[in-house]
């Protein structure tokens, strides 16, 4: 097990600068005339030097992205709108993308759960598409795959991606994911007394000390539990033990995070790493434990191109770029786990291909699996209640 000890004190703007400066060093950076600072150089057309080509995934990838860039700019369809639950965090990535491909604008729209589904359904019902693509979790994505709402698209940059992070039909693939672990208040719990892994959460010493978003409804807490029991290293006895720990339910993951940051509760056992970074940046007395033994829970954010997207070439370009080495590194800088093998992970953790991941959810079956697991979790919490 590893406990994060490095605090991130960078603002959103500083994260952009840090990522840009780092990648410029290995990616053929130009100079920003306004500031005099190194910046990621444009790569949409013309010759790209060897360092930039490496940062962009190789010459074949550069050629594909330049072709998509040319198609988008020639058509004038250059404004990408993307829906998903992590879009507030990913602005630094899109700022970097805009430097590589000038004139392509990206608007991320924060949507999740029923609101995400409702917006997409409404746009298909009206025929008036606003979204070009989505970047969302498995249950959000699969319902629309089944209804033919995503176009088939396999980015050339994702060839080495673990097949468990994509669907068999080529409609969705995840470039990054939300890593979940255990957040705790350092004023209430010293590091040596904090839980180090999933099974530690059953320790009677933690009874009444924990809070999370509701475990018996769709969300981060249930998603973590669902993945743990799907892996089969954790069973109904594990669920029942957790249910007996009197985990105080909150309306959402951010509310639960605030309760830990404010010292109302000591532990959040199912917390996203990106949320922890935000809390830490704001000066909250919190630390994070990422259980790297006993199964790592990463919730993939699947990218998919909307069928009938208003700006299809620009969206394909963004999807392709998000799997490149520089985009993978930038995703880690804002707290999301890069899913391409060998990519630099956030917090100094091992890359995704070196982790003991919990067993993948097959996207074709995720609806049935989720329904079954939800019934098991509700039964455990009902028995405890």
DSSP state of 107: E
Tell me: the pLDDT tens digits for 195-243? 999 999 999 999 999 999 999 999 999 999 999 999 999 999 999 999 9
- Which of the four pLDDT bands, split at 50, 70 and 90, describes residue 48? confident
HEC letters along 16-65? HHHHHHHHHHHCCCEECCCCCCEECCCCCCCCCCHHHHHHCCCHHHHHHH
Q: Find the radius of gyration of the CA atoms of the chain.
A: 21
Which of 360, 352, 179 has its CA nearest to residue 271?
A: 179
186 vs 39, more confident: 186
CA neighbor of 170 nearest in space, from 181, 182, 159: 159
Note whether residue 65 is domain-resident.
yes
User: What share of the chain in percent tops pLDDT 90?
Assistant: 81
- 331-353 mean pLDDT: 94
pLDDT interval class at 175 (50, 70, 90)? very high
Is pLDDT above 90 for 77?
yes
Task: Give yes or no for residue 172 having a pLDDT over 60.
Answer: yes
Alpha-carbon span 186 to 325, nearest angstrom: 35
293 in the same domain as 320: no
Residues 99 and 66 in one domain: yes
pTM: predicted TM-score of the whole model, two decimal places: 0.87
Catalogue the long-range contacts made by 159-166 (C-beta closer than 8 Å, 24 or more residues apart): 160/340, 160/341, 161/323, 161/339, 161/340, 161/341, 162/339, 162/341, 162/352, 162/353, 162/360, 164/357, 164/360, 165/300, 165/302, 165/339, 165/360, 166/302, 166/363
CA dist 331 and 345 (Å) reads 9
Q: Are residues 172 and 49 in the same domain?
A: yes
Residue 330 placed within a domain: yes
- Interval 77-92 mean pLDDT: 94
Output the pLDDT for position 385: 63
What are phi and psi for residue 64, nearest 5 degrees? -65, -45
Domain total of the chain: 2
For residue 202, give the nearest of 172, 245, 167, 159 by alpha carbon.
Answer: 245
Q: HSE of 272 in the Cβ direction (CA atoms, 13 Å)?
A: 24
CATH number of residue 128's parent domain:
3.40.190.10
* Pair 150, 281 in one domain: no
Same domain, yes or no, for 121 and 227?
Answer: no
User: Are 163 and 242 part of one and the same domain?
Assistant: no
168 and 305 within one domain: yes
Report pLDDT for 273.
95
Residue 9: count of CB within 10 angstroms of its CB = 10
Query: Is the confidence at residue 17, as pLDDT, over 70?
Result: no
Asked if residue 87 and residue 29 are part of one domain, the reply reads: yes
Say yes or no: 290 and 304 in one domain: no
Say yes or no: 16 and 92 in one domain. yes
Residue 112 is predicted with a pLDDT of: 86
40 pLDDT more than 90? no
pLDDT of residue 104: 97
pLDDT tens per residue, range 287-317: 999 999 999 999 999 999 999 999 999 999 9
Residues 40 and 140 in one domain: yes
Q: Judge whether 5 lies within some domain.
A: no
Would you state the pLDDT for residue 23? 38
Q: Which residues span the domain enclosing 272?
A: 178-297+364-384
Q: Are residues 183 and 277 in the same domain?
A: yes
Q: Identify the pLDDT of residue 355.
A: 96
């Amino acid at each position: 097990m590893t406990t994060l000890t490095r605090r991130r004190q960078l603002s959103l703007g500083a994260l952009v600068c840090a990522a840009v400066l780092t990648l410029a060093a290995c990616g053929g950076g130009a100079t920003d005339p306004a500031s005099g600072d190194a910046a990621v150089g444009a790569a949409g057309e013309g010759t790209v030097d060897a360092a930039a080509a490496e940062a962009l995934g190789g010459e074949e990838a550069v050629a594909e992205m330049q072709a998509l860039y040319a198609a988008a700019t020639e058509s004038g369809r250059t404004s990408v709108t993307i829906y998903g639950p992590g879009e507030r965090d990913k602005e630094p990535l899109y700022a970097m993308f805009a430097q590589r491909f000038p004139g392509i604008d990206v608007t991320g729209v924060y949507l999740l759960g029923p609101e995400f589904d409702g917006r997409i359904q409404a746009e298909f019902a009206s025929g008036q598409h606003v979204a070009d693509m989505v970047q969302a979790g498995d249950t959000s994505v699969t319902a629309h795959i089944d209804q033919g709402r995503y176009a088939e698209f396999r980015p050339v940059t994702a060839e080495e991606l673990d097949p468990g992070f994509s669907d068999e039909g080529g409609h969705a693939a995840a470039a990054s994911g939300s890593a979940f672990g255990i957040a705790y208040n350092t004023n209430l719990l010293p590091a040596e007394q904090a839980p180090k892994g999933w099974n530690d959460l059953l320790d009677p010493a933690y009874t009444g000390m924990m809070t999370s978003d509701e475990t018996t409804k769709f969300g981060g807490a249930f998603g973590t539990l669902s993945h743990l029991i799907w892996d089969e290293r954790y069973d109904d006895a594990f669920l029942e033990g957790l249910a007996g720990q009197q985990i105080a339910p909150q309306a959402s993951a951010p509310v639960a995070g605030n309760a830990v940051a404010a010292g109302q509760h000591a532990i959040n056992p199912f917390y996203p790493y990106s949320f922890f970074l935000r809390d830490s940046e704001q000066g909250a007395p919190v630390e994070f434990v990422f259980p790297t033994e006993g199964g790592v829970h990463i919730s993939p954010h699947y990218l998919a191109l909307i069928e009938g997207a208003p700006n299809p070439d620009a969206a394909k370009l963004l999807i392709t770029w998000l799997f490149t080495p520089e985009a993978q590194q930038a995703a880690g800088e804002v707290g999301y786990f890069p899913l391409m093998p060998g990519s630099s992970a956030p917090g100094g953790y091992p890359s995704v291909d070196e982790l003991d991941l919990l067993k993948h959810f097959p996207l074709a079956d995720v609806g049935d699996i989720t329904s079954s697991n939800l019934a098991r979790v509700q039964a455990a919490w009902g028995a405890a209640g």
